[in-house]
Structure 1
Amino acid sequence: MDIRQIILSNMKNKSKEEIKGFIQDAVNEKEELALPGMGILFEAMWEKRNEDQKDMLTSWIKESV
C-alpha cells in the first residue's frame, strides 16, 4: 500500500465529525507531518468536483492566502 491508499483507507469509514476533527486537529497543531494527509484528502476531493466547484474552491483558497 502507498501513502494515498493508507490515508484514504483510514478515512473511508470515518464519520463527517471524525473527518472534521482530523482536519481541525491538523490545522490547530500546525504539524508538518499532517500535511501529506491533508494533501491526499484535498486531492481526493478535487478529483470528484466539477469545474464550477473547482472554481469555488480556488476562489476560497485565493481569498485565504
Structure 2
Amino acid sequence: MNLNIRQTVVQNVKDNNTEQLQDTIVDSIQREEEQLLPGLGVLFEIIWKESAEQDQQQMLQKLENGLKH
C-alpha cells in the first residue's frame, strides 16, 4: 500500500479557512495522538516553505526556546 501522507493531508484541509485550520492544529496537539504527528509535520512543512527567511529564523528561535522548557 503506497500512501502519500502529504497529498492526503493537503486534500483533507485544502478548502479550510483560517479558523478551521487553527481548529485542526489545536485539536491535533491537544489529542496528543502519535498518528496525528505526520499531519502536523506536513502542515509545518507548508508553513516553512511559505515563510520568509526572517520568519524561519524566528520559528527556529521559538523551537529552540521551547525545547529548553
**% same residue:** 29
Larger Rg: 2
- Which residue matches 2:27? 25
TM norm structure 1 = 0.90
Runs of 4+ aligned residues of structure 1 deviating over 3 Å after TM superposition are none
Deviation of 1:13 (Å): 0.5
Deviation of 1:10 (Å): 1.3
Residue ranges of structure 2 left out of the alignment (5+ in a row):
none
Residue ranges of structure 1 left out of the alignment (5+ in a row):
none
Distance 1:13 1:52 in 2: 28
TM norm structure 2 = 0.85
Where in structure 2 are the equivalents of 1:33-48 lying within 5 Å?
33-48=35-50
- Which residue matches 2:55? 53
